[in-house]
Amino acid sequence: GAGVSQSPSNKVTEKGKDVELRCDPISGHTALYWYRQSLGQGLEFLIYFQGNSAPDKSGLPSDRFSAERTGGSVSTLTIQRTQQEDSAVYLCASSPRQGTHEQYFGPGTRLTVT
């Protein structure tokens, strides 16, 4: 079946612009996660959605970052007023339900802020 998909695969933006990154999880998966992979910081958790529960936003690095998940499916990660340190690969993952602890990752969006 179809895996986690993310778009765009690559995004180049100018410093100060806003960007939106999209994630389509595996159909039927109730949990969705965003992570960031950068050379200096490795893989960092950003945010977690589970069903209709309030999301865990504890990993978002600043208030320029936000995410939403509409209809329990597609998610959008928004970065406002991008900075060069936001350059990284943004990974989305989904999981069938809480408690399985298995996460299936998308191919990522490579964001470059110039």
Pick from 58, 63, 71, 84: which binds other proteins (CB under 8 A)?
58
Contacts with other proteins by CB under 8 A: the residue count is 25
Q: How far is the CB of 74 from other proteins (least distance, A)?
A: 18
Pick from 15, 78, 102, 112: which binds other proteins (CB under 8 A)?
102
Are the CB atoms for 68 and 15 separated by under 8 Å?
A: no
* Contact call for residue 91 and other proteins (CB under 8 A): yes
Neighbouring C-beta atoms of residue 31, cutoff 10 Å: 21
Q: How far is the CB of 70 from other proteins (least distance, A)?
A: 20
* Contact call for residue 107 and other proteins (CB under 8 A): yes
- Between CA 42 and CA 30 the distance in angstroms is 26
Q: Which is nearer to other proteins, 87 or 103 (CB)?
A: 103
Q: Is 81 exposed, middle or buried (0-12, 13-18, 19+ CB in 10 A)?
A: exposed
* Contact call for residue 90 and other proteins (CB under 8 A): no
- Going by C-beta distance under 8 Å and a sequence separation of 6 or more, which residues neighbour residue 23? 4, 5, 6, 32, 34, 74, 75, 76, 77, 92, 106
* Contact call for residue 35 and other proteins (CB under 8 A): yes
